[in-house]
A and B are shown apart, each in its own frame.
Chain A
Amino acid sequence: MRTLSFSDATLEAMQEEMRRDATVFLMGEDIAKQGGIFGQFKGLPQEFGFDRVRDTPISEAALVGAGVGAALTGCRPVVDMHFADFITCSMDELVNQAAKLRYMFGEQCVVPMTLRAPDGITKSAGSQHSQALESWFMHTPGLEVVVPADPEDAKGLLKAAIRSDNPTLYFEHKALFPQKGAVPDDDDFVVPLGKAKTMRGGADALIVTYGITVGRAMDAAKQLEADGIDVTVLNLRTIWPLDYDAIANAVARTHRVVVAHEAVRVGGVGGEIAAWIGEHCFDDLDGPVIRLGAAHVPVPFAPVLQEAMYPKAPMIADATRRLVRREV
């Protein structure tokens, strides 16, 4: 194991997959000469050339559309969206084209495209540069959706996304890029899609989460230890395919469930998980499934407003504590 930043873990994943497979190429705004706004592409054009690491016009619809076309014809494009919010400019290409072509063409084709989408709330980026939109794409059949939580996930999930023959959205939280963590040395290390990871295994309650909220849930778990509450934290890693079996197994051991994410709570991933647990694990439950997510408002600019409207460790700890103490 080595210690790498999240950003460098994604860089290594790109390097290894580009060395491994000549059909992998990368395109996006400000990635080649600038190295990406988070430095996540630094040095790639020097090794692989400007044909395989392409700076593009600000044309999201064309980038995703061309990504789909290249994926249909023998390449493995990685398209960088700059900010996840800009996926909205390429919704037809993603939802009507990428997601559906394999199914509606009777499995004649594959669409091995990866969409890198830096998302989430950080540094007063404001309403149009802060969203977490994964639930839209979980809702769209044909897409895979992954959300890494730490450098290990960042590397292993990105490599898995690139190797996948399905269109895969890779939501990477902007605030995670500088975060450091242990990453396996193996240059063939891949995190399998559709498999959750148990981050800690306490029996008093379960916090189901993903992405940056995994770290917040781990902080909450530490705070709960002081109250004698030992929780399981399940890092989903992949939002679709969702690891329902891991959720069911963890519910059976813990009986109390909090689902937490940074995306808007209403209509979010947590709703799907809570409803599914209600349908399938009802007899295992000792209380209601609690959903935590951002308030149903755009992300505001002022730091004091921004920090008020999405769940972090104290809110997660509080909800879990009240659930365990049957105060809900």
Chain B
Amino acid sequence: MAKTLSAPVEGARRELGITLLRTMIRIRVLEEGIEKHFLAGDIPGFAHLSIGQEAVAAGTCANLRTDDAIASTHRGHGHTLAKGTSMRGMVAELFARSTGICKGKGGSMHIADFSVGMLGANGVVAGGFGLVAGAALSAVQRKTDQVAVCFFGDGATNRGPFHENLNLCAVWNLPAIFVLENNQYASTTSTAETMKITDVAIRAGGYGMPSAIVDGFDAFAVYDAVGAAVERARTAGGPTFVECKTYRARGHYIGDPERYRRKTEVEDVMSSSDPIVRMQGTLAEALSPEEFERLWSEAREEFADAVAFARSSPSPQREEAFFGAYTGDRDAHDPVHAIEARERDTFMPFAPDIGAGSQGSGH
């Protein structure tokens, strides 16, 4: 993997480094906390961690405005936090509380925050490509200079929507940036077994789209590459593909027995490439040990506050299950809401009040 040239870490570059480091530490603390609370039974459903990949989320989103759009993946906690969603809203959502950013209807795999342009994690691999093509097309139609970024993994590049949307964005010159987190695994299968190539970025060339390949453990490198792509997109230069070579330090999901790789493989990569350790090294001369420690302690406090907020928040009202798929005033007697109200009245006498933390029996 190419070593990035170390730019002098001072002035604005130093400030940027601190920002990137702070974001990465917040993601790491959030996800280690999610892992702990998931295993303790506080979080229902599935959760997928991006530990090891934090530099991609941090480096990319540091280039974006609040009104720019991103679409994320099932492994989206880092992207969501980096785009500006509050930790409180995220943790409450994962804890299935009514105060969650999606009112407890989305969970880890379907978290979104439209107030910061976060168009959603996505439970479908490759589900984000169309949303990003559409958001980029929307910017053109509405004559704004917004851009849209799609995060996706190597696995998604073997699905049809990747190819259709890259082609569409290229031929229409849309302001989209495709940020590949090549973390070496598609679920539990290594990229070596799922594609013949090692640099996925060459696929962009097939659509006439420029691409870059960067060290995805180096948040500065990601920032610089995506920054150039964002600048190109904002100035009607069209889409860009940025492949970030990174690594998934945890299993596909929390609880994954990881039979497909050796433990030493993870240790080898993280001991040499952990993006947070890397950035702390880069900033060693620029920050004191106390300042580093403060970034960690602030993130831990933020997470503890978010957990306390989630724990003190109520479960969604059971009636909420029956509403929200369609727009409109629930008190109005429009056709959809009359039907929703009938569904509510049919099911409510039998709806168990099991609380937010329960996994639900499913039978």
Contacts and interface: CB of A to CB of B under 8 A. Distances in A.
A93 B161 CA distance: 9
Given A68-B134, A75-B141, A238-B335, 12 more contacts: A52-B141, A66-B137, A66-B165, A72-B134, A73-B119, A96-B124, A97-B130, A104-B105, A106-B105, A141-B325, A194-B334, A241-B336
B9 interface: no
A112 to B, nearest CB: 9
Given A101-B120, A166-B326, A109 B114 contact: yes
Interface string A85-104: 00000001100110111111
| Residue of B103, B135, B171, B339 most packed against chain A (CB within 10 A) | B135
A-B pairs with lowest CB-CB distance, top 10: A65-B130, A69-B134, A194-B335, A106-B103, A62-B164, A106-B102, A241-B335, A66-B134, A59-B164, A69-B131
A46 interface: no
Given A57-B168, A106-B101, A25 B134 contact: no
A142 B325 contact: yes
Interface string A54-77: 101101011111111111111101
A193 interface: yes
B132 interface: yes
Q: Which residue among A51, A56, A59 has the maximum number of chain B CB atoms within 10 Å of its CB?
A: A59
B142 A23 contact: yes
A62 B103 contact: no
Contacts of A71: 134
Interface in B89-136: 100-106, 110, 112-115, 119-120, 122-124, 127, 129-136
A244 B340 CA distance: 13
Contacts of B334: 194, 241
Given A66-B133, A77-B134, A107 B324 contact: yes
B112 A109 contact: yes
Contact of B114 (A57, A108, A243, A245): A108
B113 A64 contact: no
B288 interface: no
B138 A97 contact: no
A105 B112 contact: yes
Contacts of B136: 69
Given A65-B131, A109-B114, A194-B336, A51 B141 contact: yes
B140 A67 contact: no
A57 B112 CA distance: 29
B310 to A, nearest CB: 15
Contacts of B100: 106
B4 interface: no
A97 B130 CA distance: 10
Interface of B: 69, 71, 100-106, 110, 112-115, 119-120, 122-124, 127, 129-142, 148, 160-161, 164-165, 167-168, 171-172, 324-327, 334-336, 338-339
B76 to A, nearest CB: 13
A278 to B, nearest CB: 16
B171 A244 contact: no
Nearest to B110: A104
A305 B100 CA distance: 56
A110 interface: yes
A195 interface: yes
Contact of B327 (A61, A165, A238, A241): A165
A69 B136 CA distance: 8
Nearest to B144: A74
16 contacts: A51-B141, A57-B168, A65-B161, A65-B165, A66-B130, A69-B138, A70-B135, A70-B138, A73-B138, A75-B137, A101-B112, A105-B106, A109-B119, A194-B336, A241-B339, A243-B335
Specify which of B138, B165, B167 lies most central, judged by the most chain A CB atoms within 10 Å of its CB: B138
Contact of B161 (A92, A193, A195): A92
A97 B326 CA distance: 14
A104 B102 contact: yes
A64 B168 CA distance: 12
Given A23-B141, A23-B142, A103-B325, A72 B135 contact: yes
B163 to A, nearest CB: 8
